[in-house]
């Protein structure tokens, strides 16, 4: 049976359709999850997609954190059991939920940036990056206005020391992120947040490459490896 991967729609989610397409292309079954339902529908993993949940009012991701669905998602993710991938606004929501440390702030240019972006995969031990090789460079899409990753020096040192920087920008820092960090993971490796959009690099026709599909296939490998433990 194909793995079931949930894609959450908050009011103002925009890349939910794209995330669902990427899930389907990876061979899994996409399951639509609604922000107002405290129900994960028994999915095996969850993607928090990009967009402007709640119009980015207050702060990006700050209101989505309180959605009924998050009350189910946060404990399952924190325990290490549920793989969760937060893309762009999803990353912001993961930070606001304190599933990941740090925060995302305005790009250093103070402008929205849409560009094809090379990333270096630095941690292949997470639930979402197992299909990449260490140091592999991948071409995906970056499109965000508040994508500058910030955290205090101690947290940044800790992330680096524990290998929790998952992807880093290559070829110049597009938004002023501290230490060029594009994505990070939690201590269990099940929760990954990144600012760039792997789900927009899954079809040669519409994306700059198909490099992004690896995030979605990786979690399937992770789930099948985990399956016996849950049996």
Partner 1 sequence: MSEVPGLDTVATAIDTPDTAQPYAELGMAKDEYERVREILGRRPTSAELAIYSVMWSEHCSYKSSKVHLRQFGEKAPASDALLVGMGENAGVVDVGDGHAVTFKIESHNHPSYVEPHQGAATGVGGIVRDILTMGARPVAVMDALRFGPADADDTKRVLPGVVSGISFYGNCLGLPNIGGEIGFGTGYIGNPLVNALCVGVMRHEDIKLAQAPGPGNKVVLFGSATGPDGIGGASVLASATFDDASHAKRPSVQVGDPFMEKLLIECSLELYGRDLVVGIQDLGAAGVSCATTELAAGGTGGMDIRLDRVPLRDPRLTPEEILMSESQERMMAIVEPAKMDEFLAVCDTWQILATEIGEVTDVTPEEAERGGRLVMTWHGETVVDMPPRTASDEGPVYERPYARPTSQDALQADDAAALARPSDDAELRGQLLRVLGAPGVGDPTWVTQQYDSYVRGDTVVSAPHDSGMIRVSDDSQRGVALATDGNGRFTRLDPYTGTQLAYAEAYRNVAATGARPLAVTNCLNFGSPEDPGVMWQFAEATRGLADACQELGTPVTGGNVSFYNQTGDVAINPTPVIGVLGVIDDVRNRLRSGLRTDGATVFLLGETRAEFGGSAWADVVHGHLGGLPPRVDLAAEAALGEVLAAAADRGLADAAHDLSDGGLAVALAESALHGGRGVRVELKGDAFTALFSESGARAVVSVAPEHREAFLALAAEHGVPAAAIGTVGGDALALTHPAGALEVPLAELRTAYESALPALMDGV
Contact residues toward partner 1 (CB under 8 A) are: 11-12, 14-15, 17-18, 21, 50-52, 54-57, 111-115, 141, 143, 145, 197, 199-200, 203, 205-207
Rounded (to 5) percent helix, strand, coil in the chain: 30, 25, 45
Q: Which residues of 38-71 are buried (b: 16+ CB within 10 A; e: fewer)?
A: eebeebbbbbbbbbbbbebeebbbbbbbebebbe
11: which 2 tokens?
Answer: 């009011």
Which residue, 168 or 197, is less far from partner 1 as judged by CB? 197
CB of 141 to partner 1, least distance (A): 5
Q: Which of 72, 95, 197, 222 is catalytic?
A: 197
Q: C-beta of 8: minimal distance to partner 1 in Å?
A: 15
Tell me whether residue 88 is one of the annotated catalytic residues: yes
Our answer to whether residue 96 is catalytic in this structure is no
DSSP 78-91: HTT-S-EEEETHHH
What minimum distance in Å lies between the beta carbon of 11 and partner 1? 6
Which of 20/223 has CB closer to partner 1?
Answer: 20
Report how far residue 182's alpha carbon sits from residue 149's, in angstroms, rounded to the nearest whole number.
7
**21 vs 65, beta carbon nearer partner 1:** 21
Tokens of 33: 């999850």
Q: How far is it, in rounded angstroms, from Cα 41 to Cα 33?
A: 8
- Selected catalytic residue, list 35, 72, 88, 222: 88
Shortest distance in whole angstroms from residue 93 CB to partner 1: 15
Q: From 59, 157, 52, 63, select the one nearest 105 (Cα to Cα).
A: 59
Nearer to partner 1, 55 or 75 (CB): 55
3-state secondary structure at position 213:
helix
Distance in Å, CB of 32 to partner 1, minimum? 13
- Say whether 60 is catalytic: no
Q: Which is nearer to partner 1, 79 or 206 (CB)?
A: 206
Catalytic residue ranges: 88, 197, 199
């Amino acid at each position: 049976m194909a793995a079931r991967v949930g894609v959450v729609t908050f009011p103002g989610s925009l890349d939910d359709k794209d995330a669902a397409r990427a899930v389907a292309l990876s061979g899994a079954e996409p399951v639509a999850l609604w922000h107002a339902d405290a129900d994960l529908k028994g999915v095996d993993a969850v993607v928090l997609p990009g967009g402007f949940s709640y119009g980015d009012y207050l702060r990006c991701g700050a209101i989505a954190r309180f959605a009924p669905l998050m009350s189910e998602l946060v404990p399952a993710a924190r325990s290490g059991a549920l793989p969760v991938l937060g893309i762009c606004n999803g990353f912001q929501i993961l930070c606001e939920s304190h599933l990941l440390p740090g925060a995302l702030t305005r790009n250093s240019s103070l402008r929205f940036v849409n560009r094809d972006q090379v990333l270096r995969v630095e941690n292949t031990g997470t639930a979402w990056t197992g299909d990449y090789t260490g140091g592999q460079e991948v071409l995906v899409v970056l499109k965000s206005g508040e994508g500058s990753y910030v955290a205090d020096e101690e947290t940044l040192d800790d992330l680096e020391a524990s290998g929790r920087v998952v992807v880093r920008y290559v070829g110049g820092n597009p938004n002023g992120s501290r230490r060029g960090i594009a994505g990070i993971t939690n201590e269990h490796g099940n929760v990954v947040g990144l600012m760039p959009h792997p789900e927009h690099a899954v079809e040669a026709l519409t994306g700059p490459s198909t490099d992004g599909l690896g995030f979605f296939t990786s979690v399937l490998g992770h789930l099948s490896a985990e399956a016996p433990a849950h049996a």
